[in-house]
Amino acid sequence: GQQLNQSPQSMFIQEGEDVSMNCTSSSIFNTWLWYKQDPGEGPVLLIALYKAGELTSNGRLTAQFGITRKDSFLNISASIPSDVGIYFCAGHLGAQKLVFGQGTRLTINP
Amino acid sequence: DAGVIQSPRHEVTEMGQEVTLRCKPISGHNSLFWYRQTMMRGLELLIYFNNNVPIDDSGMPEDRFSAKMPNASFSTLKIQPSEPRDSAVYFCASSPPPPHGQGETQYFGPGTRLLVL
C-alpha cells in the first residue's frame, strides 16, 4: 500500500528556534494535510493543501504542497512551548481515505 | 460547536470480554472513520462510513471487530472477544460533505484508550 516517509522522527530544539519537517511518498496525492497531536488527545488539523505548489500559512505555521505531488513540508517559526507534540502528515488520494506518516515528535527546551 | 465525541475515554477490560466504543460525529458531517493508534503501527484506518453506509472495512483486523452506524449521529465499534493485542487508542473522525470536503478534512475525537488485560 501507499507509504508516507516522514522525517525527522523526533526533534529537540530550543524555544524560539524554527522547525522544519517533511513527508515524501512514492505515490502522488491530491491533497496533503498536516495534523498535530497533543498527549492524550486526538490529532488536530493544522493545514490542508489542495494544489501542487501551494504554499499556505496558519499563523507561525507554513506548509507547502510539492510540485511533484509526492512531498510536502511544514515549517514552524519562532517555536514556543505549546508547539510541543507529535506532528503528522497525511496524504489523500481519493475514496475518502487518508494515509498518515509516522509522525515527528517535537520537544522544546525552554 | 461540539467536536467529535467519543466514549468512554478510557476502558480497562479482561481478555475475552466484549468492548463497545461509541462515537458521535460532528453535526452535518456525512463521513465517519474509525482509526486505531499504536506505537508500533501508528494510525491505521479500520473502517469508514459514508452517509451511514460502510464503504471500506479492509482495515478491520479480523472478525472479532465490527462497526455499525445506525444513524447519522452515532456509531459503534465493537470487539468481541477482546484480546490483549487489541490494546490501543481508538479514534473516531468525521468529515463534511462537498463542497466543504471530500473526506480529506477529517476531524478527530479525543480517542478511547483501551487496555485489555
CB under 8 Å to B31, separation ≥6 — which residues?
A96, B48, B49, B50, B51, B94, B95, B96, B97, B103, B106
**Which residue from A81, A110, A86 is spatially nearest to A14, judged by alpha carbons?**
A110
CB distance B31 to B103 below 8 Å: yes
Interface of A with B in 13-72 (CB under 8 A): 30-31, 33, 35, 40-45, 48
Best of A97, A100, A105 to mutate (most B CBs within 10 Å, chain B) = A97
- In Å, how far are A9, A18, B4, B27, B105 from A96, measured between CA atoms? 26, 33, 18, 18, 9
A92, closest residue in chain B (CA to CA) = B104
Give per-residue pLDDT as tens, A31-70: 999 999 998 899 999 999 989 999 999 999 999 999 999 9
Q: Are A81 and A19 in contact (CB under 8 A)?
A: no
Which residues on B lie below 8 Å from A100 (Cβ)? Answer: 42-43
User: How distant is the Cα of B109 from the closest Cα of chain A, in angstroms?
Assistant: 6
Task: Decide if B106 touches A, using CB distance below 8 A.
Answer: yes
Tens of pLDDT along chain B (117 residues)? 689 999 999 999 999 999 999 999 999 999 999 999 998 888 999 999 999 999 989 899 889 999 999 999 999 999 999 999 999 999 999 998 876 666 678 999 999 999 999
Contact B51, B94 (CB under 8 A): no
